[in-house]
Structure 1
Amino acid sequence: MTTLATAAPPVRFGDLVAAEWIKMRSLRSTAWTLSLSTLFVLGSAAAASLADRQHLAGTALESPDFLCFDAFPPAGYVTLMLVAGSIGAITMVSEYGSGLIRTTTVAVPARREVVLAKAATVATVWAVVGVVVSLASLLLSQAILSGSDAGVPITHPGVGRALLAAVLVAPVCALIGLGLGVLVRHSAAAVLATCFSLLILPMLFAPTNQWSADVNQLMVVSAWRRLVQTWGQLPGDPIQGATVTESWAVLLVWPLVTLALALLVIRRRDV
């Protein structure tokens, strides 16, 4: 009697996400990277808050708006963006470098689903990090500043928006890095492309005149700065800044475009 082999059930998307999570958590460097990034951002927030608290000692505070920025210091968050983007890029290109991508594509020929599973896993992990870091840095900075009666409550206008932007910027950068990793497929080049897009490119368009400022405002770091800036446009500033809606659009478009390009290219390339 001939026994017919039973076809294996199709791989579900949830299975792909679970496999990607196992790959990520099995690396010791993942926990170390996430922990050190969190501590660095919190240290930056504490340092900025302590500096402002000392500066404000014995002075009357007219407006607390700028003090909310202490919870989201550029030094800490730009570093977080670069780390998230680099990890996102390495998540993809490491499989090309090790040759594991061949095993992956044999097990799951649907390459686009693999990329989407990686994107879902990376975005979720960095979103959790974003929630922890943003809430902790806000609470820490306001605890320090409250000693000088300069704390800004979470109900203050613009603080909720700043908090949400601080949560989302890490997964946004991780997805950008992942997309660039698919496009470049070389570890060093992918990380370099990610860092160039997130940090160096905005520096090439300093907001010294309107056209340069318009290009600068299309960058992720500039959009993040606008969203965490609770005081809006300063009166008398000759350079027209981006609106809140435009800044949200920038944070949305960058990962969507890079992922769309990645999904388009992944089907046209050999592994």
Structure 2
Amino acid sequence: MLAAETVKFFGLRSTWVLLVVTAVLMVGFAALSAWGIASFAQDGPSGGPGGPGGPPGGSDFVHTVPSSGLSLAILVLGAMGAMAISGEFGNRSIAATMTAVPARWPVLIAKAIVLTVVTWVVITVCELLGYVVAQPLLRPAGLDFAFDARLVPQIMFLSGLYAAAIAVMGLGLGALIRNTAAAIVVLVAILLVFPILVAIFQQEWVQWVSAFLPSTAQSVTLDPTASPGKLDVGGSWAVIAGWPVVLLGAGIALVQSRDI
């Protein structure tokens, strides 16, 4: 099953296009952020890290440069996850797949595994490339940093897990809605619209709701300059893992119970 889904996944032209777009966003934004931070630090009234002219949060802020494009890249990967299943519903090829696998649920599990592995590898490689590209741009301002600097390895290798969770969320939504555009709209609402809405209100219960959004959990786990949230790092990772599990589980349940 895994081999078949891997071949199917990489056999789509859209997969390669979206992976290339992801790489361009990640590496491009890392270079752009590094250039912007270095220029600001050099031109500011006090150009050292953490100084009035330096980046906010000092060196911790600079450590997030390789993942500057992550917030856009996850939208691309989430769309890729949705297309991995909704496209099959659209062209009716899902009927042949489910005929070959009457149990149905192994198909979605195999797709989720392929998405998770590919997404983690792509994001991790892009983070490493972003780090390499950013260092020469940061060096003139004295802001370059070692690979083993505080939180740098964790950010680089764990960002891929967050991106994989978003890709599987897209897969779950695609299975639930069976329409690529609608699944992407819902995913964008969860990742971008809901955080803006809850940020408008300061009530205690609203802040607790915000803590269970993927974007809030990501800032707690992967942003060293973020303020402490309602949940600790462990709880935030549980939120990140819970979203794809719930959506994929709901997608599997509907695929099992509805006609193809």
Indicate the structure (1 or 2) with the bigger Cα radius of gyration. Answer: 1
How many angstroms apart in 1 are the aligned matches of 2:239 and 2:257?
Answer: 28
TM-score, length basis structure 2: 0.88
Q: Displacement, 1:253?
A: 1.0
State the match for 1:42 in structure 2: 27
Q: Are residue 24 (structure 1) and residue 9 (structure 2) matched? A: yes
Amino acid at match of 2:67: F
Alignment partner, residue 219 of structure 2 = 225
Greater alpha carbon shift after TM alignment, 120-129 vs 216-225: 216-225
Are the aligned partners of 2:63 and 2:145 in contact in 1 as well (CA < 8 Å)? yes
Taking a change above 3 Å as real, the CA distance of residues 165 and 208 of structure 1, as seen in their structure-2 partners, is farther
Which residues in structure 2 correspond to 1:1-271 (within 5 Å)?
Answer: 16-57=1-42, 59-62=47-50, 63-73=58-68, 76-206=69-199, 209=202, 210-233=204-227, 240-271=229-260
Structure 1: 4+ residue segments shifted above 6 A = none
Runs of at least 5 residues in structure 2 that lack an aligned partner in the other structure: 51-57
**TM-score w.r.t. structure 1 length?**
0.85
SS state at 2:112 partner:
helix
With 54-63 and 98-107 compared, the bigger mean Cα shift is at: 54-63
- SS for the counterpart of 1:230 is coil
> What's the % identity of the aligned pairs?
29
Q: Is the 8 A contact 2:219 2:226 kept in 1?
A: no
Deviates further, 216-225 or 101-110: 216-225
Shift of 1:269: 0.9
Q: Aligned partners of 1:94 and 1:137: how far apart in 2?
A: 32
Q: Distance in 2 between matches of 1:221 and 1:165?
A: 14
Contact 1:49 1:141 (8 Å CA) reproduced: yes
Residue equivalent to 1:10? none
- What amino acid maps onto 1:213 in structure 2? Q
